[in-house]
Each structure stands twice: as C-alpha cells, then as structure tokens.
Amino acid sequence: MSELKTDLLVIGAGSGGLSVAAGAAQMGADVILLEGNRMGGDCLNFGCVPSKALIAAGKAAHAQSHAAAFGIADVSPKVDYSATIDHVQDVISQIAPHDSQERFESLGVRVIREHGSFVSPHQVRAGAHLITARRVVIATGSSPLVPPIPGLDSVPYETNETLFEQRDQPEHLLIVGGGPIGMEMAQAQRRLGARVTVIEGAKALGRDDPETAAVLLDALRAEGIEIAEDALASEIRGKPGAIEIETRDGRLFKGTHLLMAVGRKPNIERLDLAAAGIETTKTGIKIDAALKTTNPKVYAIGDVAGGLQFTHVAGYHAGIVIRSALFGLPAKAETSHIPWVTYTAPELAQIGLTEDEAKRIHGEKLELVRFPYDQNDRAIAERRPLGLIKVMVVSGRPVGVSIVGAQAGELIGLWAFVMANRLKMKHVAKMVAPYPTLGELNKRAAGAYFSPKLFDSPKIKTIVKLVQRWIP
C-alpha cells in the first residue's frame, strides 16, 4: 500500500468537492481528490443537468401545442422519446469536460478514482493508497431515499439515478413524492406525452410558501397532471407495465411506470466516520457554523452535511472551507440568503422566510408587499401573465421573497444579492430596470412597498403643497 501526504484531501467529486479542489489547488495547496463513481457527481450525471435538459424538451413540445394565442396553429408534437434521451445525454457530455479528471489534473489536483474510508482522525484509505491529510473535506453528496414501502422491492421503479437512461417512454407514470424533483419530472413527462399521477403523503411542495405553491399546483393540474395529497403509500404491487399503489386511506392508483422521488439520504456508509471521531445526525454529518465536524480537522459540505440540498449551496460551502482551511480565517455558513427554485412552468422561487414564517417570527413588525405578473408588460406580451412576487419586509429590509411565475429563478437572484448584503427596499427602488423586462417586477414590488407611504400620506401631501406655494 502506497502512503501519501497532502495539505487537503477532498472526498467526493460533485459540485462542492470540485469547487474546493480547484480553488485550493490554484491557490497553491497540495490537493488529493477521491471519487469512486462518476466525476461531476449527482448534479451533472443524475440531477440538475439532465433534469433541466428533459424539462427543456418538454417545454419545446408544449410550445408546439400551445401556439394559437400567437396566431400560430397548434400542432400535436411527435415525440421521439429515445431521441429526447439522446438530447439529455448530449447535454451531459458537453458539460462533463469541465468536471473531468483531466481538467482537474491540469489544475494540479491528484485525482484517485477510489472511494475513501477513514482509518484514523487524519488518515483515509482509498484502494491501494493510505492518505494522511492536514485537512479533509467530505463532499460525498446524497442519494435517492427509497422508503421501505411494502411490496416496493418486488416491482420495477426508477429514481433520478436511473430515469435519464430509460429510452421507453412511460405511458402512465406514477410519482411517489410531491417535492421539487417530483413536480419537475411530472410536468416534463406530461408535456412529452405521458399520463402522470403524483402521490404525496403530506402537502405537495410543502416547503414552499403555500400561496405561491398553490398557483403552481393549479397550473400543473390544468395541464392534466393528477396530484393526490395526504396520500401516504402503504403498499405497492404489480409487475412491469402494471403497477398499483394503495394509500393508507384506501385510495388506489394504477400506472405503467413508477418514479420514487421522496427525498435524499447522505452518502456516508463507506466513510467509517467513527474511526475519525465524526458524529452524525438524522440528516447527515454533524457540523458547526464553520462546517467543521466533531473532528476539527475535517469539514463536511453540501448534501452530506444534512442542510439545504442544492448545488449552489455546495458551491457556497466550498468558499467557506477555502477561507477557513487555506487561510485560517474565521468563516461561518448562513442560510437566510440562500435561494431555491423549482424549475416548472411557472417557476417557483423562494429565499428567506415565507409569509407564514415571517408572521410567526416578526408579528406586527412585518409588512407584506405583493405585485402581480399581469401588470408587467413583458409578461403580457409573451402571454405569461400568471404569477406574483411577494416580499416580506421588516424595518425596510426584506426578510423573505416568494415568486411564482415565468423566470422566477432569474428574478430571485436580485433578492439574493440584496439579502446577502443586508440592503433595504430603498436600494431596490433606486434601481432602473430596462423596459420591457420581467426584471421590472422586482422594482415594481419595491415601488409597491413605498407607494402607500408616499401617496397615501397626509403629511407628504401637506409638504408638497407648502413647497409648491413657496418655490418660484
């Protein structure tokens, strides 16, 4: 067994691990990167990239059959599902070189294609290598959570790790799980021609603001997607092409294919964390605000840390670790300025507190501002007037923003900037947005916050009258 020493050992070549490895190596650290599966991790191979590619295909098909409002005849799209999967795989292949072993080796990172497991607080075994590291970053990500539903082990099912390799189009897709992954895939598959039923044990999109989530759920149902809530699956049975799901309250759902999308679990099984003195929680590895585990020489970032499970969070964590591990500077991770988006049509975006959370925390100090899409000229011109932006404000500063509508994921970016820098509504109001853009919605929302203070104020009106009387 060869013995290696390094400044920084990164376990996992997903988005977070790659960001740490690239940044650290380019800043002069000696870096070893372990990856026992595919470079790029879940996001590139099974998650963000292929799902958005499939969504784009569904959008193209939907546009063909919904063009009459523009004076263009609707046509029924002819979907070659195998070719659609070719499109998905081509998108992956175009992005893959950026995450490849060759690229990272060119940056000075030593890449070892093995899984790693701790043998002591400072040593990790990876295949034929024993690695001693001054600092270790665990970035092993997460995998689909498959709950122990009776009968599930006897029927064929897909997860996000297998769905994008299947070339036979589902006739009637049953999706267990009404979160972002379930809803995104439900709409994409429906637009490509499948019947779709979503079965959710609680409330669909339950982590999001209920008002904005309801707008999206109504839109999905209008496209023909059946969404069953409070439907906890109690038994699954059947055979390929004929699957049945029975819920605890006696409802029965039948379909031809099954997708499990009930959540994620941290990838920690191979790590032997106990050997390194690293504790875990129900959701992942136990960390402090600096992303350090109970072994202060070891960090955990991204999904495996058990918090918000988004690629951009892993990238954010990478910056925290580089600041701490390479420069010895204090750095703490926060979550109040982290946005997330469900990439359906309309899109659903959230940052900070929802309305209910803001009311519970801030009470009467909360001011609520709404502005609808149907008062935006660009939304009207593009026949996308469905949606609204809602801003929760305390002492002039936004503490949460919920957006549902076209390009909500793009619009939320401004609020992420505002909240990360603790700016106020006045700073958004000062912005000049180009006309006509959906970006004007953000400025108009800020304007809606100040309008009552300016136009409905007797004091302001009195001041204006006095100034008009005295100025020449």
Q: Annotated binding site for FAD: which residue ranges?
A: 52, 116, 140-142, 303
Helices (H) and strands (E) counted in the chain, each on its own, are: 15, 21
Residue 447 neighbours by CB distance under 10 Å: 16
Distance CA 442, CA 453 (A): 18
The CA angle 139-87-181, to the nearest 5 degrees, is 50
Distance CA(82)–CA(390), nearest Å, equals 40
Could you list the residues known to form a binding site, using ranges. 52, 116, 140-142, 177-184, 200, 263, 303
Rounded Cα–Cα distance for residues 315 and 78 (Å): 39
List of residues 6+ apart from 3 with CB closer than 8 A: 129, 130, 131, 132
Write out the binding residues for NAD(+): 177-184, 200, 263
What is residue 388's three-state secondary structure? Answer: strand
Closest alpha carbon to 174 in 229, 227, 234, 235: 227
CB-count burial class (<10 Å; 0-12, 13-18, 19+) for 17: buried
Residue 73 has which token pair? 């005849």
Beta strands 129-138; 298-300: pairing state: parallel
Angle at CA 303, nearest 5°, toward 25 and 89?
80
Beta strand 117-120 with 123-126 is antiparallel
